[in-house]
A and B are shown apart, each in its own frame.
Chain A
Amino acid sequence: MKALLKTLFGDLRNCCVVALLIASEVAMIQGDWAEFAPLVLPPLTLAGVFWLARSWRAVAT
Chain B
Amino acid sequence: MSWTIFSSAFLTAAVEWVEAYTIVLAVSLTIGWRAALGAVAAASATLVGLTAATGGVLALGAGISWIQLLIGVFLLLFGVRWLAKAIAREAGLTARHDEDEEFAATRAQLASADGRAAWLVAYKGVLLEGLEVWLIVIALGIGGAGIISSAGGAIAALLPVVLAGAYLRSPLRRVPENAIKFVVGAMIVAFGNYWSLEALGGSTIWPIGASALIALVGFYILGGLLLIAALRPREPREVTI
Contact = CB atoms under 8 A, between A and B. Distances in A.
Interface string A20-59: 0110011001000011011001110110111011101101
B84 A52 contact: yes
A60 B94 CA distance: 6
A23 B74 CA distance: 15
Contacts of A60: 93-95
B231 interface: yes
A21 B77 contact: no
A34 B231 CA distance: 32
A1 B213 CA distance: 34
A39 to B, nearest CB: 9
Interface centre among A3, A49, A57 (most CB of B within 10 A): A49
Contacts of B223: 42-43, 46, 49
B189 A38 contact: no
A25 B197 contact: yes
B139 to A, nearest CB: 12
A14 B80 contact: yes
A9 to B, nearest CB: 6
A14 B128 CA distance: 19
Q: How large is the interface on A (under 10, 10 to 19, 20 to 34, 35 or more residues)?
A: 20 to 34
A14 B80 CA distance: 7
B80 A17 contact: yes
Interface in B118-157: 124, 128, 131-132, 135
A50 B83 CA distance: 9
Interface stretch (B38-46, B52-60, B167-175, B201-209): B201-209
Contacts of B85: 53, 56
A53 B93 contact: yes
B35 interface: no
Interface of A: 3-4, 7-10, 14-15, 17-18, 21-22, 25-26, 29, 34-35, 37-38, 41-43, 45-46, 48-50, 52-54, 56-57, 59-60
Given A17-B80, A37-B197, 6 more contacts: A42-B220, A45-B193, A45-B220, A56-B85, A57-B231, A59-B94
Interface of B: 69, 73-74, 76-78, 80-81, 83-85, 87-88, 91, 93-95, 124, 128, 131-132, 135, 189, 193, 196-197, 200-201, 205-207, 212, 216, 219-220, 223-224, 227, 230-231
Interchain residue pairs A-B with the least CB separation, the first 4: A52-B84, A56-B88, A57-B93, A53-B84
